[in-house]
């Protein structure tokens, strides 16, 4: 993917729910994700179950190379930096 103005590569980012990261913080109330979600099925909750391994596979399957799995912007969620596979 190239920037139309500069011709340089564009590296998209994607924010995703990272349950492992949330668990490492102990599910604090200030993060806004109900602790009950831990014991509910995916169709009963609004915060999707994801982790870095799952997102890495999803990105690879969609044709992206992962530059970094978490850019460190947020305590609760992760932000993956991607590059289109050539």
pLDDT per residue over 16-57, tens digit each? 999 999 999 999 999 999 999 999 999 999 988 999 999 999
pTM of the model: 0.81
Binning pLDDT at 50, 70 and 90, where does residue 6 land?
low
Name the nearest CA neighbour of 65 among 54, 56, 73: 56
- Read off the pLDDT of residues 8-25 as tens digits, 9 standing for 90 and up: 677 999 999 999 999 999
């Amino acid at each position: 993917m190239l920037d139309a103005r500069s011709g340089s590569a564009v590296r998209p980012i994607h924010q995703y729910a990272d349950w492992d990261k949330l668990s490492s913080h102990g599910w604090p109330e200030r993060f806004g994700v109900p602790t009950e979600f831990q014991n509910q099925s995916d169709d009963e909750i609004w915060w999707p179950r994801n982790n870095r391994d799952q997102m890495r596979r999803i990105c690879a399957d969609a044709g992206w190379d992962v530059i970094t799995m978490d850019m460190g912007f947020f305590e609760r969620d992760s932000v993956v930096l991607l590059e289109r596979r050539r």
